[in-house]
Amino acid sequence: MAVVFERPKSFADIPLHYCPGCTHGIIHRLVCEVIDEMGIEGDTIGVCPVGCSVMAYDYFTCDMIEAAHGRAPAVATGVKRTNPDKYVFTYQGDGDLAAIGTAETVHAATRGENIVVIFVNNTTYGMTGGQMAPTTLPGQVTQTTPYGRDPKLMGYPVRVCEMLATLTGTALAQRVAVNSVPHIREAKKAIRKAFENQRDKKGFSIVEVLSTCPTNWGMSPVDALKRLEDEMIPYYPLGVFKDANAFPEKEGE
């Protein structure tokens, strides 16, 4: 019988700690599929965030480093600068990347740091029990916005890909989602492109993945997927915001 689907080799065969219906598992798998297809597990170093995916170092079978909250792009910079021939990626949530780690994110991008950033946006702080994130939508109820996020008091959510697309050092800024099969296929292509950019030394590549948090949204997994489609995508449109070589003069070197 032909094998049509199997667990990627670089995805450790152990139980995940994520809640039922959480899409982290899908995103982990996509990253691992790309690592397997490119045959780079032995040359890859991943950097984990603080947040729900804090223990991702157990799931990826490449070498892994656990960073402090928000600091993954700086840690990845230290790894990549001293190991320029290795593949380096960070895996970060929205609080980690777009709140406490904003400076590290923006400056890694502006330096054109040749790394891949997988940015999981689920509009909430999942690990700590569902507080307002920098990406929480206007009106969204969280533990710390019990009456809904009021932009007059709490500001507007940040669109990370659009912001980073303005920087010369950014090679790829693409937003994808994992709430349907076509979206998942598109997400994998984007992740593959990001790793290929790193191979080709094109600069900073970020793939923002719209994700769900049924537990903290107080929804069934199915309803959560529907919310992603109906509420998140209108505010966070899918697509490619930048696709370029940040260092064109280096081509052919």
Task: Name the residues that contact other proteins, by CB under 8 A.
Answer: 41-45, 47, 54-55, 57-58, 60-68, 71, 74-83, 86, 103-104, 106-107
Judge whether 133 and 98 are in contact, CB under 8 Å.
yes
Comparing CA positions, the residue from 190, 148, 140, 180 lying closest to residue 31 is 190
Rounded Cα distance, 206 and 119, in Å: 7
Closest among 118, 164, 137, 96 to 236, alpha carbons compared: 137
Of 103 and 222, nearer to other proteins (C-beta) is 103
Helix (H) or strand (E) run with residue 176 in it: strand 170-177
Of 106 and 178, CB closest to other proteins? 106
Minimum Å gap between C-beta 53 and other proteins is 12
Cβ 203 to other proteins, closest distance in Å?
16
Token pair, residue 82, equals: 């001293």
Contact present, 40 and 195 (Cβ < 8 Å): yes
- Closest to other proteins by CB, 65 vs 219, is 65
Nearer to other proteins, 104 or 178 (CB): 104
Q: How far is the CB of 117 from other proteins (least distance, A)?
A: 14
- Cα 76 to chain centroid, rounded: 14
Smallest gap from residue 9 Cβ to other proteins (A): 10
